[in-house]
A and B are shown apart, each in its own frame.
Chain A
Amino acid sequence: MKKPGLLLVISSVGILLFLYLPLMAVAFFSVNSSKYGLVWKEFSFKWYVRMIQDPYILNAALNTLILAVISTAVATTLGTALAIGMENFPWGKRLKSFLDSILHLPVITPDIILAAALVVVFMFLRKLMSIFEPGLLTMTIGHITFQIAFVALVVRSRIASIGHNVEAAARDLYANNVYLLWHVTLPLLMPGIIAGAMLAFTLSLDDFVISFFTSGPKSVTLPLLIYASVRRGITPEIHALSTVILLLTVILVFTFERLTRIQNRAKNNPAKGRK
């Protein structure tokens, strides 16, 4: 193999450092027993211990988890239904391509715009019903609004890779709609649905902007807590917390990647129907 040039090596290492040094620094200081400054004292997990004893952090973690689980469950169900519905869309090509493009809209809209829009909507809804006071419910709804699009897009690509022939075969073999959905469509879509759900979960877990605009005094999540703490000065607990969140996200992203790869392999499956 050809030896890579010096310039290439330097620039690659430089870019990697640029990307990962800040993250590594956070992880580094999370296991440093010194409380202040950038001085290394000794290796210690004490900030992690203190972190899991902090009621504010625990409460925020619980909120984050509840928010992520519920919003992901709802968004995955709705997003999958949307993807299946759009694939079997019976009302003309024009309307379908229009819906296709507005499906991408939540993905490319800046979060801040969506957040501001949600504030207005909830303000209006609050006048009708008091349950729309800022809190976990409004945050959940906020998260669902942007998660649905991501789930639907991932599931749709899976639908496209399966093709229509398998569905026709099931109908030909006496399957009614329920049997078809339960025994053919959903099992075949499952890798896509799981991948979509994990993507949605990750997005909810580290969302700040939408949460910030829709949260109430009692519904602090981890990103909001970190933001608030950082303004008061960073503590090593926050480093520990950030490291934990980072690790969780990495695990989720890796699993998502793997599932997508399985999905791509299924695409090359010779048994798959094609038209």
Chain B
Amino acid sequence: MGLEVTDVSKHYGDVPALNRVSLKVEKGEFFTILGPSGCGKTTLLKIIAGLELCDSGRISIGGEIVTKIPANKRNVNTVFQNYALFPHLSVYENIAFGLRSRKFNRDIIEERVGKALEMLQLTHTSERYPAQLSGGQQQRVALARALVNEPAILLLDEPMSALDARLRSQVQVELRNLQRRLGKTFIMVTHDQDEALTVSDRIAVMNLATIVQIGTPTEIYERPKNKFVANFIGDANMFEATRTGDSGLITEYGTLETSLPIPWQEGAVVIRPENIRLHDSNPGFNTLPLKVRDSIYRGDHQEIWFEENNLKAKTTNHTLYRPGTEVWLEFLKDALVPLNEEE
């Protein structure tokens, strides 16, 4: 067992930051906590790190209960947002900090820091100071500074937020590879859904101090549980529906069929824009003719909006869809997802 969070709550004054949050992270897993700002995700990370203590609930790491143990006695290290490197210490001294503060013997410190420098390609920068490093190098120092302590769990608080967009996608892949190579448990907090989908084994989506859904990136993207998840991750067409029979849905687009279980009589369904296929003539099943309102060329795909209902489709067709053209839309049956009732 890597980490177990049970029923953890935290309030700042009257404002709840976490409301009975529970989750389990397996050893060696890359787990991401994803949510908008102010949803409590950073608070949860701080509580796992021991930098804040929860009001109620239980935290256990590797089977040991650590709820009341402060950060400097937990076998967990953090890569902070904006890295929080020590500006008065060199790269070497930054990385050695956690070993020196525990009075490790000099030889061990030298060996382990040397290895960490090498692993993150920082050897040539060891004498420099944080202000003299690029953003990517600073991030690697922050990683090395945490990993050199061989923590049971590595926590990452928005580790990409200070990098520019181009570097970000490259670093995401590197981070993922590093985690695989080390086989260590990584828990990352982010508000960036692309990042979460790219790196994670599993994702916990948070909103308003609670966890809304936990699942693999595929589950989260393809089977969102509610409106919040569907909207927060990726694009979504959402509309009301009434159930008819076992798999029929009466909607404003006519009666559609889904192959997924429908848990209600009246509720909402969601379909991703790429799961609406476009045809010139009626293919015959789960279809609807609509007029094109607007289309946007995106290079590898195009986005098409349809009149009246703001329905959006994505296609890799190279057909030019002019506004006013009538197109047949096909709603893929196994991608039409009935959402759970909103709370």
| Interface positions of A (Cβ within 8 A of B) | 165-166, 168-176, 179, 183-184, 187-188, 266, 269-275
A172-B72, A271-B130 known; A183 and B101 CB under 8 Å? yes
Chain A CB count within 10 A is highest, among B72, B73, B135, B138, for B72
What B residues does A270 contact at CB under 8 A?
131, 135, 138
Contact yes or no, A188 B51, CB < 8 A: no
Pick the contact of B83 from A170, A188, A266, A271 — CB < 8 Å?
A271
| Interface positions of B (Cβ within 8 A of A) | 49-51, 70-73, 76-78, 80-88, 97-98, 101-102, 129-131, 133, 135, 138, 145-146, 149
Contact yes or no, A176 B72, CB < 8 A: yes
What B residues does A187 contact at CB under 8 A?
88
What B residues does A168 contact at CB under 8 A?
51, 71, 78, 80, 84
What A residues does B131 contact at CB under 8 A?
269-271
What A residues does B130 contact at CB under 8 A?
269, 271
Pick the contact of B87 from A179, A183, A188 — CB < 8 Å?
A188
Contact yes or no, A172 B71, CB < 8 A: yes
Pick the contact of A174 from B83, B98, B138 — CB < 8 Å?
B98
What B residues does A173 contact at CB under 8 A?
72, 77, 97-98, 101, 145-146, 149
Contact yes or no, B78 A169, CB < 8 A: yes
- Taken together as a complex, chains A and B put the C-alpha atoms of A168 and B49 apart, in Å, by 10
Contact yes or no, B82 A171, CB < 8 A: no
What B residues does A174 contact at CB under 8 A?
72-73, 98, 101-102, 149
- Taken together as a complex, chains A and B put the C-alpha atoms of A267 and B196 apart, in Å, by 32
Chain B nearest CB, measured from A186 CB (Å): 10
Chain B nearest CB, measured from A89 CB (Å): 16
What A residues does B70 contact at CB under 8 A?
171
- Taken together as a complex, chains A and B put the C-alpha atoms of A166 and B73 apart, in Å, by 17
Contact yes or no, B88 A171, CB < 8 A: no
What A residues does B51 contact at CB under 8 A?
168, 171-172
- Taken together as a complex, chains A and B put the C-alpha atoms of A169 and B145 apart, in Å, by 10
Contact yes or no, B86 A166, CB < 8 A: yes
Contact yes or no, A170 B97, CB < 8 A: yes
In the complex, what residue of chain A is closest to B75 when comparing beta carbons?
Answer: A174
- Taken together as a complex, chains A and B put the C-alpha atoms of A183 and B71 apart, in Å, by 17
- Taken together as a complex, chains A and B put the C-alpha atoms of A179 and B101 apart, in Å, by 7
Pick the contact of B84 from A166, A179, A183 — CB < 8 Å?
A166
- Taken together as a complex, chains A and B put the C-alpha atoms of A250 and B83 apart, in Å, by 40
- Taken together as a complex, chains A and B put the C-alpha atoms of A91 and B103 apart, in Å, by 34
- Taken together as a complex, chains A and B put the C-alpha atoms of A179 and B86 apart, in Å, by 14
- Taken together as a complex, chains A and B put the C-alpha atoms of A188 and B101 apart, in Å, by 17
Contact yes or no, B80 A184, CB < 8 A: no
Chain B nearest CB, measured from A83 CB (Å): 18
